[in-house]
């Protein structure tokens, strides 16, 4: 066969093969004729979200196999929709002193990011203790991380949604909190399971009765603190400030982890009862602070390390009696030099510092059934001669470096404020107590501090009340708003 003819045959073959090769690519839209996926954005996607997604999915380095349509949706629970990723979590917040504690889901969905409004949204990553986080239909976000917020999801619609989701997830992940790193620490006011509560115990048969309405709230916290003023004693009766040993079940029911011993009545039934009580706390694995078997033990700070948060808790008694200066049991007597040294040592360790303080009690008890509004305020120095007044003293502790200062001697709630980067709660009122003749003494405040890796995110303010049944409960929203408004007015 001539060379020219062979060449033509080869050329024809190549032409046919090329035509087939490119023809198949053309009709199948592959190879040179491949059409890559196009990204389409639904109107629900914001400009900020579109910029983020465009930089990931539409960059020169990315060639999508399939078209993808992206939309966004707001949910009030953390149930991840199919073919979606979490873009952000938005929290409802208000001013630190706002009287509200909760809003409805409808109110949540009507909020925006305008910080000039009374209530607005922020990203959860921007949450700090300078604002007040609000619950949504009583669901508090920091308790579960699954409700009480707006969960913003980006949803992908494509023949293969995993392609776009994998690309976005590789470049973007929202920095949500983790239950492993959120520490909840509840602080309560005065507990004295004595006198009238002793009489109630004899009627109901179990001290757990007293805690029935509050135990779920308190026992769910990682740490729960009480300031117990009444030692356990076989000498307890309906007329002294001593607790019958059967009363211990009330403390156990609320999941108590820390007992503060700054109170002025722990020696009322004798040093032996106080020592036995302290020993029993230790036997039960309950930590103590602000009191001890002697002056040295009473002065030991409580160092807490839990969930990547380090806290030093200090507690002092200031001239209310019941303190120790030697080998007898009692409360940790305050001195300015001691407080400065304790706080300085804690700050050197990098700890968050909480100072509890047993200050003078407010005695302004009028006739039965009337409100003691004078005790809403801090106590003035003129009432106790040369001693610094309550406001000055508590602010001095913040100036020394304390982060939070809490008054644990008041028998009714007192006002509160932020000061020099810290928080002051002048009096938490009563948790377990027997007085019902004055409305003020039936009320208390539970502070729940929420930490994330050592940072204070929030101090939740939860008012309580009891009546003649002596069962402590959380106030409803109307009651809570009334009390907070009243305390704000006293500031």
CA–CA separation, 344 vs 230, rounded Å?
A: 31
State the pLDDT at residue 187: 98
Domains within the chain, CATH numbers bracketed: 39-171 (no CATH), 182-490 (3.60.21.10)
Q: pTM of this prediction?
A: 0.92
CA–CA separation, 231 vs 453, rounded Å?
A: 35
State the pLDDT at residue 445: 98
Number of Cβ atoms within 10 Å of the Cβ of 86: 17
pLDDT above 90 as % of the chain: 85
State the pLDDT at residue 7: 63
Average pLDDT over residues 36-53: 95
Q: Are strands 323-324 and 309-317 parallel, antiparallel or unpaired?
A: unpaired
pLDDT at 19 over 90: no
The average confidence (pLDDT) of the chain is 93
Average pLDDT over residues 319-346: 96
Of the pLDDT bands very low, low, confident and very high (cuts 50, 70, 90), residue 32 is very low
pLDDT at 385 over 70: no
SS3 36: coil
State the pLDDT at residue 213: 98
- pLDDT, tens digit, 9 for 90 and up, residues 103-155: 999 999 999 999 999 999 999 999 999 999 999 999 999 999 999 999 999 99
Q: What are the CA-CA distances from residue 77 to residues 51, 89, 153, 461 (Å)?
A: 26, 10, 11, 24
pLDDT at 221 over 80: yes
State the pLDDT at residue 25: 43
């Amino acid at each position: 066969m001539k060379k020219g003819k062979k060449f033509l045959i080869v050329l024809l073959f190549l032409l046919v093969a090329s035509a087939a090769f490119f023809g198949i690519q053309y009709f199948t839209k592959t190879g040179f004729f491949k059409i890559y996926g196009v990204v389409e954005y639904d109107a629900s996607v914001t400009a900020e979200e579109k910029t983020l997604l465009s930089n990931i999915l539409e960059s020169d380095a990315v060639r999508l196999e399939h078209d993808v349509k992206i939309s966004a949706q707001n949910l009030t629970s953390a149930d991840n929709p199919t073919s979606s990723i979490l873009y952000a979590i938005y929290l409802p917040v208000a001013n630190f002193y706002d009287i509200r504690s909760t809003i409805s889901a409808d109110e949540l969905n009507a909020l925006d990011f305008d910080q000039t409004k009374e209530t607005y949204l922020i990203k959860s990553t921007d949450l700090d203790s300078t604002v007040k986080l609000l619950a949504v239909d009583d669901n508090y976000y920091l308790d579960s991380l699954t409700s009480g917020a707006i969960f913003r999801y980006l949803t992908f619609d494509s023949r293969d949604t995993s392609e776009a989701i994998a690309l976005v997830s590789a470049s973007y992940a929202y920095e949500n909190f983790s239950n492993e790193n959120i520490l909840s620490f509840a602080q309560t006011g005065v507990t004295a399971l004595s006198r009238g509560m002793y009489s109630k115990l004899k009627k109901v048969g179990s001290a757990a009765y007293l805690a029935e309405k509050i135990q779920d709230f308190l026992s769910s916290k990682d740490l729960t603190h009480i300031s117990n003023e009444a030692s356990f004693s076989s000498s307890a009766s309906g007329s002294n400030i001593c607790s019958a040993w059967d009363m211990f079940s009330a403390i156990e029911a609320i999941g108590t982890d820390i007992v503060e011993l700054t109170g002025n009545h722990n020696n009322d039934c004798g040093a032996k009862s106080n020592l036995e009580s302290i020993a029993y706390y230790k036997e039960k694995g309950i930590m103590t602070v602000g009191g001890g078997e002697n002056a040295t033990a009473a002065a030991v700070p409580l160092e807490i390390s839990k969930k990547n948060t380090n806290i030093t808790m200090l507690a002092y008694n200031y001239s209310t009696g019941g303190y120790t200066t030697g080998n007898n049991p009692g409360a940790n007597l305050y001195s300015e030099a001691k407080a400065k040294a304790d706080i300085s040592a804690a700050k050197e360790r990098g700890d968050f510092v909480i100072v509890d303080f047993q200050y003078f009690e407010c005695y302004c008890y009028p006739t039965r059934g009337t409100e003691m509004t004078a005790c809403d305020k801090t106590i003035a120095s003129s009432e106790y001669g040369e001693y610094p007044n309550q406001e000055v003293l508590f602010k001095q502790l913040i100036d020394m470096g304390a982060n939070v200062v809490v008054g644990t001697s008041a028998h009714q709630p007192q006002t509160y404020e932020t000061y020099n980067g810290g928080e002051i709660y002048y009096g938490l009122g009563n948790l377990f107590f027997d007085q019902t003749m004055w409305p003020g003494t039936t009320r208390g405040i539970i502070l729940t501090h929420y930490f994330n890796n050592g940072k204070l995110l929030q101090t939740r303010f939860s008012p309580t009340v009891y009546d003649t049944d002596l069962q402590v409960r959380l106030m409803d929203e109307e009651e809570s708003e009334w009390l907070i408004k009243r305390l704000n007015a006293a500031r």
